[in-house]
Amino acid sequence: MSEVTRPLRSLLYMPASNAKAIAKSRTLDCDAVIFDLEDAVAPNEKDAARVRAVEAVQAGDFGNRTVVVRVNGLSTPWGEADFRAVAECAPDAILVPKVSSAAEVRACHELMSAFPANTQLWIMIETARSIFNLAEIADVASETRLAAFVLGTNDLCKETNARLVPGRAAVMPLIALAVTAGKMANLAVIDGVYNSIEDTAGFEAECHQGLEYGCDGKTLIHPGQIAIANRAFSPTEAEVTFAKAVIEAFSLPENADAGALRVDGKMVELLHLEQCKRLCAIDDVIRADRSPAVPAESAA
């Protein structure tokens, strides 16, 4: 069973060029905040946004939230400078866009030599080439800091000319491949954004779709999406109750050598026991007390 650390149900993109947005992120109930130096920042603001992101991460006060900085791609004029600057502030992870090959993952890993050992490498899966290289990309996780795939569904549609419509029929096969490859290497896999901010019903449906396909959480573009994502990607009370019943059944002395049991009318095996332990561990983390939000004067 993989170690459960922090849930990644809701990951909010925040433009690093916006000081008010950065301050607000310290008070929001998202599991992770991603300070964006890439898509959300205009070229003439890149340098200033980089400085602001570094200062924000260094200032801290993000409680239990995972803090991530999305840098610009290495093929851009800003990519390597972003890597050098972000190394100074030691976020929980650095998110690199448009990674398409194992060689590029290794290059990112090498550029992280100055980072603290616990800073993870996350990559965007958002190019057509990355889909066909998923297995080889996942395979280098064992020799690099690679810890997560973040799906860039808008860019995947742009590259493939697919339509991002309700149900995401053209996109879901790509997501399924990414989840399968990511889990093969024990990576977190995060679903892409939902563009219609006011369509809460559509957003909730897409969260549940991502959950059903194996995603660990969803990237967000608006604080109003946080509560829905947190609820969708949290174990339900019924799931936790059943999981605890499975764990208890297998723990009974008379079942010490059992490979399969009947619990609440369902046949469960040892593989289900491991799933149940993981679900309960995630539930425990979610229920644990979060660090309190910073005082209002600190977030002004």
Q: Which residues are annotated as a binding site?
A: 70, 126, 155
Which residues belong to the annotated binding site for substrate?
70, 126
Q: What torsion do the CA atoms of 27, 33, 38, 40 make, to the nearest 10 degrees?
A: -40
- Rounded CA-CA distance 157/279 in Å is 32
Which residues belong to the annotated binding site for Mg(2+)?
126, 155
